[in-house]
Every structure is written in C-alpha cells, then in structure tokens.
Structure 1
Amino acid sequence: MTIEPIAQRIRAQLGELRAFTATPGNGVTRFPFTPEARAASEYIKARMEEIGLAVRMDNSGSVIGRLEGQVPDTVMIGSHLDSVRFGGAYDGIAGVVCGIEAVRQLIEGGGQPYYSIEVIATNDEEGSRFKSGLFTGKVLDAQLTVDDIRRYKDEDGVSVYDAMKAYGLDPDAIAANKRNDIKAFLEVHIEQGPILEAEQKDIGIVDIIVGIKRALVTVHGRADHVGT
C-alpha cells in the first residue's frame, strides 16, 4: 500500500467539504438540517457510493454507507458532519473521510469482513443549533421522544421536529430507530488539546473519554441546557 495517494485523497476531500458552510471565509458553520448540511451529505453519499457501499440517510439525518460482512453485527466507523459556528475544517468531518478511505482499502484488498461495516457521518453532535447535541447517538439508542424534539428549538424558534420534517425525515418515528446490532464504534478525530503537538507525536489512541450528560433546567423562568 502506498500512503501518499491515500493522503492526497483525504486532503482533497477535506478541502472540498470546507466549502459547505454558511460563513464562507470565516471558518466552517454547518448546522444540522440546513442547506449546507444537505450539500455536505450529498458529497459524502457520492464518495461512499464510489467505493461500492450501500448508502442511506437514517432518521436522524446521518449518512451511512454499509459493507455487508459475514454476520449482520456491525462495526461503525466515522464522526460528525455538523460543526460549531466558525468551526475548523477538520473537526468531525476528518473522521468521516478517513473512515471512507479505510473501507476503500479493505474493499480493494478483497475478501468479505466478518462483521458488517458502516461508515457514518453523524448529525447534530455539536448541539450548536438546538443546544442539545449528540442527536444521532440518542436516536440510535432510542433516547428521544416526540415531545423532546418539539421542545428543543433554535434561536429562530424552529424546533427539531419542524426542522426534521422540512429535511424530509419522520419526526413522529423518532423513538423507532434503535440499533441493537452495533458491536463497536471507531472514530478518528483531531486532537483538541496540546499533548500530541507538545510531544511531537502524529497520532494517539484514546483510552479514556469524558461522559456527557445534558439536562433541561429552568433558570429565572427560562429553559436552557446544562452539561456535565
């Protein structure tokens, strides 16, 4: 395997994806259920189809490309499609592009994997629009109700429910998308700290990760989210 052509493809795709933003010239702003998210999703779909994956958008708005294995149990590889306001061009999306490239190498190598593999671009992980976040994960674990997604709203008063509907999804079926077949989730992500740079390392393997819980609270008559 020659690394440079792989690296060139990753660089090129990340360069093209950075154009799908609501703030051109000022970072990447790609909120969920927006035209920018749709354009990036279509781009990712096309890259997945190019390598032979069966591609779909699930009811959370995530894009999934599947390679069938010998058993239906699934290993997921990927990261998030959305961004914070004025975010970086690699945050989240690098894990999606690298996931596609990893599966490309597997397919070109021949043979059928034991576990089925899905490359996933998850939706609304950051929570920048609706102040909730981890949306795809919550949908896959059936943690959300219709009441929840009617309650979460953006700064313009648009609810997750209405945004999903406008995006072509089925908000009334939000609790009916639980996945029980996922054996593992692998994610490549930029380091959001100084350790690798300080130690002059190119890559690290995470063995501990923070757990996030969010709760809707009322302060001075106003509902807002807090995280722990």
Structure 2
Amino acid sequence: MADECFGHPRLAPIYDPLDPDRSDLDAYVLMAAEEFRAHRVLDIGCGTGVFALLLADRGIEVVGVDPAQASIEVARSKPDSERVRWICGDATALPPLRVDLATMTANVAQAIVDPRAWQRTLRGAYEALRPGGHLVFETRDPARRAWEEWNRERSYSVTEIPGIGAVESWVQLIEVSWPLVTFRWTYVFATDGQVLTSDSTLRFREPPEVEKDLAAHGYVVENVRDAPDRPGREFVFLARRP
C-alpha cells in the first residue's frame, strides 16, 4: 500500500515541487544509457515518473510501475508521458517483460519493509530481466543513522506552488524499532488551512543481508558502490541475472 505522500490525490501533485532537486538520478541515467547501454528499462517504484521520463528523453523504452494511482496519474499528465508504459501495481505481478535493466531509485527498496514482499520483488525483477540484464538499487548505510536528522528543525520549509499556493512541510521521526524506522511528513495548505500527514517506514538492511537475498534469487552481485551524490551515506547494488 502506498504512503499518503504518493497516494493521496492532494499530496501526489505537490511531491515534485517540494523535492525539485533530483540530481540523485543523474548517476542512474548515466548507468542506464552509457554503462549498460540499456534499450529497455523497468523503473520499479516510479512515483511521479521523473526518472522514467529522463530515460525516455534518451530514447530508452521504459516501463514505470508504482502502486500509487495518484502518482501514476501525475506521471501521465506530464509532457511526453506517452513515451512511457505506466502500470499501477508492483514488481510482483508484471506482464511478460525482457528488460536490460531494472531499477529502484531513492527509498524504493527500503520502503518494501515486509520480508515476503521484498523477496517477491526481487523475484519479479529477476523474471522481468533478460539473461545478462542488471538490477540496480540503493539503500542507506545503517551506520550513518540518517534518522537522527529527521526533525522539524532541519526540514521545515514553506514552498509556493503555482496553482496551489503556499505549502508548509516538515518531517518528524516517529519510531525506531530496528530494523524499521518510521517518520511522518506534515503538510499545511495555506489556501484553506488543511493539514495532511503521511507516515512512512523504511527497513534498513546491512550489505551482507542484501547480498544474501540477491544470491538466493539467482543474482550475481557484481558491485556495491557509494552513491555518487552521497558518498559514505548509501550503498548502490549492481546485480546481474546470469
């Protein structure tokens, strides 16, 4: 089930304006287009379609899948969105595909907190890949304890969004129940004073656990890298279907 920030009809349209800097995706675009020279990509947890459309701009055939209907609708409303095949769902129930690359950018991999759903996602991605295709995703390094910075003091902002008005937003840590960390985003709309919240939970996994899970589904782990834009904070896993 999608978090409210992705699934609520009033929150999904403001997701991009509240997080406009997506330079974190640059490295993934280069991997897809230049390192792997992918012709077909499966973007798991595509959200509002930012990454999928960046790939489509490179002439790459993209399938974007996400469980949040509101986010898929935002993606479909964007210019040139017809170049991407959008699916409301998840990687556990995909149509037959043979992609060169499957991706889970940002928090997508960690947002799959249920162990059974995580295993099914890895299996679904494996089945969607052609032999020799790659799965690439990132997870936060648990040792950095990123959640200690998730508070109102560090995150509070007021954003003026065209056609919507000013929106206040901030995040607060709710609970650490290892390996799960839960936090809450709060949004206040100036036009009518409505307050909406969105709770999210991330599962923090150590690299050996991730590598074990990948191997159990037949992947060959080729590399574990630093996230280029956040060195020392995140791991980027590159796994191949033999």
Q: TM-score, normalised by structure 2?
A: 0.26
Q: Which structure has the highest strand share of the two?
A: 2
Q: TM-score, normalised by structure 1?
A: 0.27
